[in-house]
């Protein structure tokens, strides 16, 4: 299930939001999504305020227009060192499992607005790079049409199966009958393997907006 653009986004029209990740920075600008590399971001001179969160130490704001909102979040967890991107992704979810599938995949559990914990696993691209580093024979493209109901009969499928199947089992074990919320670049791929799942590309931005509104 995909969650599209709705009335929620109307509240964002005068606001530029930025989520600085490990590899790039994602922006929400008046309904338009775009990305910059970290090098491009460090040269970026915005003409308006940019409300941002960051997990990247290489990002060094050079303008007072960048407003760090990490302290805006009032989040109930005992998890030590929880990334601000994960906090933002969980921030609008009262109950459910939140999966942010990017260069790394983070999985977090929320119950009654309280963070119960979570785990991190490599993303699809990171897995493929790891296989390639083991042997040139394992330098194989990912099969996005992989069939999970039967055992693989060739190496290409075996690698893709080995990436996807364990993660699906782990998410199901955590979710049980709870809703699952996917976001991130590979979220739209993973969501199709679950019945009670929603893909929301703006989930982190929704959390950021909620935190900003709570400061008003």
Active-site hit among 85, 108, 157, 186:
85
Give the Cα-Cα-Cα angle 192, 196, 198 (nearest 5 degrees).
Answer: 65
Give the Cα-Cα-Cα angle 57, 99, 140 (nearest 5 degrees).
Answer: 85
| β partners of residue 182 | 99, 199
For residue 49, the 8-state DSSP code is -
Q: Contact, 76 vs 85, CB < 8 A? A: no
Provide the 10 A C-beta neighbour count for residue 177. Answer: 5
Residue 85 a catalytic site member: yes
Distance CA 56, CA 24 (A): 9
Give the chain's end-to-end CA distance (angstroms, integer).
33
Active site residues: 85
């Amino acid at each position: 299930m995909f969650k599209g653009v709705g009335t929620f986004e109307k509240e964002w029209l005068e606001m530029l939001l930025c989520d600085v990740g490990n590899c790039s920075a994602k922006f929400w600008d008046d309904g338009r999504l775009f990305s910059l590399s970290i090098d491009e971001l460090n040269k970026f001179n915005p003409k308006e305020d940019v409300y941002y969160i960051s997990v990247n130490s290489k990002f060094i704001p050079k303008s007072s227009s960048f407003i760090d909102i990490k302290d805006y979040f009032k989040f109930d967890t005992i998890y030590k060192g929880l990334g601000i991107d994960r906090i933002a992704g969980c921030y609008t979810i009262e109950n459910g499992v939140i999966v942010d599938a990017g260069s790394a995949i983070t999985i977090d559990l929320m119950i009654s607005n309280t963070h119960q914990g979570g785990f991190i696993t490599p993303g699809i691209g990171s897995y493929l790079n790891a296989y390639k580093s083991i042997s040139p024979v394992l330098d194989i493209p990912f099969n996005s049409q992989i069939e999970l109901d039967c055992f693989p009969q060739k190496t290409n499928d075996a690698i893709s199966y080995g990436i996807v199947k364990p993660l699906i089992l782990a998410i199901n074990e955590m979710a049980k009958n709870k809703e699952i919320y996917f976001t991130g670049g590979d979220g739209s791929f993973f969501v199709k393997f679950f019945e009670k799942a929603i893909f929301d590309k703006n989930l982190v931005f929704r959390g950021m907006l909620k935190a900003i509104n709570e400061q008003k």
